[in-house]
Amino acid sequence: MNNPQKYRKGAILFSAGVIFNLFISALLFLGASVLTTRGTANGKELVELSKEKGMYVVEKLYGFYKGSSGDVRDDSEQTKKMLAQYDAIDYDLTISFDMPNKSISGVNYMRMRAETDTLRTIYINIYDNLKVNKVGFQNMMRTGINYREPKDMPDWYDVTFTQNSNYLIVTLKDEDRPMKGDNIALKIEYSGKPVKKGFDSFSFKELYGNMYVYTLSEPTWGPVWWPSKDFPDDKATMKMHLNVPTGMKGISNGLLTDTVQNSDGTTTFNWHSSYPIATYLVSIVVGKMAYWEDTYTSVDGNKTMPVVYYAFPKDSAKARIDWKPTPEMIKYYSETFGEYPFIDEKYGLAQFGWTSGAMEHQTITSYGYLLVTGDNRYDFVNAHELAHHWFGDAVTLKDWKNIWLNEGFASYCEALWMEHTGGMSAYFAHMKGFDYGYFSGTVYDPKGFIDNPAIYATIYQKGAWVIHMLRGVMGDEKFFAAVKAYYEKYKYSNAETSDLVAIMEEYHGSSLEYFFNQWVYKGTGRPKYEYSWKFEDFQGQKGSGAYTVRLNLKQVQKEEEIEVYKMPVKITVVTEAGDKEFTVFNDQKEQSILLTVDSTPKEVLIDKEGWILKKVAKGTYEK
């Protein structure tokens, strides 16, 4: 494209395009589900909604256009090979905060298992805004004592290290070299000022007269505030210790094991995530918060779990109303997919410094403060982020090419919650609200990340349509059984699109290659059906009361990747006696279909309910 700084006309067009995209982005981030939840919105409502959330999106995306991108970090192949030489087992991270200077200091005990006999150089993800002050090393297999925790070990050997191009590179001595399978540990002491990258990687922010600290590291920005092996397919357990000014709360993942009042005017909040967690899901929120609890009882009735809430004091009364449905949501998804995956810890919601976004941090969703309104208008956001705990947190994508598995499932679960509370009409209305008429690129392996408005819509909304259409193809019994099996098989580990395909095919009983090729891997468009019809007496027998409907169905889309979208298409023949439903597998560019009904036909409808992402036009019947 032309450089808008060089060409004035180009600059004007570029700016106009940016403004248009920002407005569209506001609506995309908002989600058309708001409109379907409230009913049909008029122009005034749309303006108010844009005012309410649009400026947040404009602010965020302006940062992206300036170059503060949310794109996935581009590690070289050589670096990936180095990182693959070990498996992260657990982290024990302590962070202290200097609020006036907006800086932190930390100590991370990182235990790992050597995956090769040749591990000599250890790469750790940490961005250059942080300074590593000291690194200690231990081979836990050679101490002669079985220490349960790295931090319990008394002697640490200083090792040589460098910081280069956003990596900590540790060089081991020959006598320290581990053998394959050895558990080794690093003690990384660091300090610095975290920077604000991507969506909002780490922020000190004043809200309602109080200072708050919060994080959102997706996809690859966690290393701006803590060192780790920052890849979603290397999940580990974690302990988090937050030393915060007394009077503030330090909120993180997992269970709060205890709090300690320190003599220096700080309080330490000790958290433990015993379930494996991906680094991008690690979260902290620090600040003055109102706190209350609810309880969830497992589907089998044998366990209770705390459902915890942290809200800004100013918003707590409204939050009590908005978040009240949460235990019922947990119950519904548990009954639908399998028990809540972190039943031995908690589920929680915590307000943070985003205005209108939310993030599915494991066991503690971060919730934008302007989403708290006291009228439950954003229940769909609560449902979306909770659903991620099945699809995203428990079953985590293997790499960022598969981001649709996270967001497509979670967006689809919004529609399922609508179905649960409002029936099938609410379900279809929500899905219809996800159809923006055009989606850019493929669902799998998007060229960029979800900060790009076009990619956002494809991953979230079209991704939800993929799951919805799978349900239509497979039928409810097979579909929900397959989703449960997918969750159960990959719970606490990682999955990619091919893993989902394999399970869906197993339960469907036949290949779904055509489906995933056209909707996920290759196709970028949708079928455009053009149809015409006429009817005549059945077999020419007047007065029989039976009629033959002759239907011509064409696909007229112009798409290089997919010439014919193969799908079971539901045909509704509206007759004087009522609707007659038929299902035809459409796998031809032009298809002649004969249908028989026992009452005079009045109209023919293609996919009346909306099981297919499509466009439909009616033509004149030709012989």
**Interval 557-594: pLDDT, tens:** 988 889 999 999 999 999 999 999 999 999 999 999 99
pLDDT band (50, 70, 90) for residue 145: low
Using H for helix, E for strand and C for coil, what is the string for 428-450?
HHHHHHCCCCCCCCCCCCCCCCC
pLDDT over threshold 80, residue 514: yes
Selected residue with higher pLDDT from 173 and 361: 361
Instruction: Kindly list the strands in the beta sheet with 249-252, ordered across the sheet, starting from the edge strand earlier in the chain.
Output: 202-207, 210-215, 284-287, 249-252
CATH code of the domain in which 612 resides:
2.60.40
Q: Helix 463-474 vs helix 476-490: angle between axes, to the nearest 10 degrees?
A: 120
pLDDT confidence of residue 55:
33
Assess whether pLDDT exceeds 90 at residue 8: no
Question: Is 463 part of any domain?
Answer: no
How confident is the model at residue 143, as a pLDDT?
Answer: 56
Residue 206 confidence (pLDDT) above 90: yes
- In the prediction, which pLDDT does 147 show? 58
- Decide if 26 is inside a domain: yes
Among 6, 37, 67, residue at a domain's last position:
67
pLDDT number for residue 4: 24
Q: Which strand ranges, in their side-by-side order, compose the sheet holding 255-261?
A: 157-158, 130-139, 183-192, 103-114, 86-98, 236-245, 266-277, 255-261
Average pLDDT, the chain: 88
pLDDT of residue 72: 79
Q: What is the pLDDT of residues 262-272, one digit of tens each?
A: 999 999 999 99
Q: Give which of 204, 201, 197 is closest to 98, Cα–Cα.
A: 204
Confidence of residue 19 (pLDDT cuts 50, 70, 90): very low
Predicted local distance difference test score (pLDDT) of residue 302? 97
pLDDT at 162 over 60: yes
> CB of 430 within 8 A of CB of 379?
no
User: Per the domain annotation, does 39 fall within a domain?
Assistant: yes
> pLDDT-based confidence at 180, cuts 50/70/90?
very high
Indicate the pairing of strand 103-114 with strand 183-192: antiparallel
Assess contact for 584 and 533: CB atoms under 8 A.
no
Contact 397, 232 (CB under 8 A): yes
Asked whether residue 146 carries a pLDDT value surpassing 80, the answer given is no
pLDDT the model gives residue 623: 66
Position 41 in a domain: yes
pLDDT at 430: 98
Range of the domain at 591: 528-618
Instruction: Let me know if residue 611 belongs to a domain.
Output: yes
Q: Which of 13-17, 89-93, 186-190, 325-329 is the least confident region? A: 13-17
Handedness of CA 443, 445, 448, 451 (dihedral sign): positive
pLDDT bucket at 609, cuts 50 / 70 / 90: very high
H or E element that contains 473: helix 463-474
pLDDT at 59: 34
List the structure tokens of 461.
Answer: 């909304």
Where a domain ends, among 25, 46, 67? 67
Interval 417-436: pLDDT, tens: 999 999 999 999 999 999 98
Report pLDDT for 321.
Answer: 98
Q: What pairing do the DSSP bridges indicate for beta strands 528-537 and 615-618? A: parallel
Residue 493 included in any domain: no
Q: How many domains does the chain have?
A: 2
Residue 38 lies in a domain: yes
Q: What percent of the chain has pLDDT over 70?
A: 87
Please give the pLDDT value at position 31. Answer: 39
Q: How confident is the model at residue 148 (pLDDT cuts 50, 70, 90)?
A: low
- Could you tell me if residue 124 is inside a domain? no
- Asked if 564 contacts 614 with a C-beta cutoff of 8 angstroms, the reply is no
Domain boundary among 7, 34, 67: 67
Burial of 295 (0-12, 13-18, 19+ CB in 10 A): exposed
The string of pLDDT tens digits covering residues 289-305 is: 999 999 999 999 999 99
What secondary structure does DSSP assign to 509-573, as a single string?
Answer: TS--HHHHIIIIIS--S--EEEEEEEEEEGGG-TTSS-EEEEEEEEE----SS-SS--EEEEEEE
Please report how many Cα atoms fall inside a 13 Å half-sphere around the Cα of residue 55, on the Cβ side.
6
- pLDDT exceeds cutoff 60 at 57: no
* pLDDT > 70? residue 5: no
Distance CA(551)–CA(476), nearest Å, equals 28
Among 54-68, 258-272, 493-507, which stretch is predicted with the lowest mean pLDDT?
Answer: 54-68
| Residue 306 CB coordination number (10 Å) | 15
